[in-house]
Chain A
Amino acid sequence: MLYIIDSDKIMAECIAKATGEEVKIFANAIEAMNEISYGELPEIIFMEIMLDGPDGFSFLNELISYDDTAKIPVVIVSSLPFVKKNLDVYGVVGVLNKETMTPEEIRRYVDECTKRNQD
């Protein structure tokens, strides 16, 4: 299962379509964290940093504080110019800029994740 966390519903649906997989969409970090706490762990998370309520960094801090959730790969999808190396400590495997990203780039992260899980 793939998780998408973005308060912008249209953008979340666009990312969901690009993955071509079954996804769960969350409008804020609290909803996503609750699902992770009580449901199954996602294979990969695509998330925006600027969210309604607690921001993405609060979510990432929560995520890396548990041994099982710390291993979940996270791809940041944002219009803000984040640099991946600055986010490595949060378990971020990639950064996509909303202004320039293509469905192929999103799909590539999904494929890489699937391949890693098969290995």
Chain B
Amino acid sequence: MVAAHELKEPLVALRQLAFMLDGTDITDKDVQKKMVGVSDRAIKQINDLMKIQKLQDGIFEMEPVSVRAVCDDVARELMYMFRFNRRDLFVKYSNRSPLVTANRELLHSVIYNFLLNAMHYSGEDARSELIVKDFRDNVRVMVRDYGPALPMDVWREMKRGWIEKPASIAMRPGSSGLGLFIASKFSKYMHANVGAVRHRDGTSFYVELPKSHQMRWF
């Protein structure tokens, strides 16, 4: 039900954008870009929901994955949306372990959802940060935003390790928590930890992936 509500939002926005085209130049680039951006997000969410169904079949293989390559891919993919919405995206790598044990596709979705969430809840000209660093035997991929603080109940649920179901986040109304739910599901499948840190001026979401030691054999 909550997921349906979140998926309805882009359709509502597309409908209103279509009205905006009425009486204006049909080649209005601004409206076109908005329509593409809204559609992309909806398609991505539907694809992720379909992947959740496939998790049960265990078709996503775990393999050594270059965390930096995945982060670069996601950052490149979302950079235009950040620029279009007048947000900054700052990427910083300080991890010494290049490989993690994960599924590339699922990891891509987790980071994508975190970044989209950060973009949505950051103010204009505010920046979001994608930080990758070593954390004990794991590599931590963290996305920091400068939006409203995460409500305590959601934070507690994330502290427990996963989110049971998407639930409305009152302080972050544009979201039903669907993105976090998806990230949580995918992380659990990859035996990775997800979590959140509350800041006074925003929230950091992170996923911790086990380091792959494959490189040590060479």
Taking Cβ atoms with an 8 Å cutoff, the residues of A that contact B are 7-11, 13-15, 17-18, 27, 48, 50-53, 55, 79, 98-99, 102-103
Given contacts A14-B20, A17-B20, contact A51 B173 (CB under 8 A): yes
- Chain A proximity of B5: nearest CB distance (Å): 8
Q: Output the nearest chain A residue to B16 by Cβ-Cβ distance.
A: A14
Instruction: Report the minimum CB–CB distance from B203 to chain A (whole Å).
Output: 13
Residues of B within 8 A of A (CB): 5, 8-9, 12-13, 15-17, 19-20, 22, 34, 38, 85, 121, 123, 147-148, 170-174
Residues of B within 8 A of A18 (CB): 19
Residue of chain A at shortest CB distance from B22:
A103
A103, B38: Cα distance in complex, Å: 20
Knowing A27-B123, A79-B8, A79-B12, say if A7 contacts B173 (CB, 8 Å): yes
Residue of B nearest to A104 (CB): B19
- Could you tell me if B171 and A53 are in contact, using CB atoms closer than 8 angstroms? yes
Q: How many A-B Cβ pairs are below 8 Å?
A: 51
- Per the bound structure, the CA–CA distance linking A8 and B174 in Å amounts to 7
Contact pick for A52, options B8, B9, B85, B171, CB 8 Å: B171
> Are B173 and A98 in contact, CB atoms less than 8 angstroms apart?
no
Of B5, B9, B16, B174, the most chain A CB neighbours within 10 A belong to B16
Q: Which residues of A contact B12 (CB under 8 A)?
A: 11, 79, 98-99
A102 to B19, CA, bound (A): 8
Residues of B within 8 Å of A53, CB to CB, are 148, 171
Most chain A beta-carbon neighbours within 10 Å: one of B5, B19, B121, B147: B19
Instruction: Give Cα A79 to B172, complex, Å.
Output: 15
Question: Which A residues are CB-close (under 8 A) to B22?
Answer: 103
A18 to B18, CA, bound (A): 12
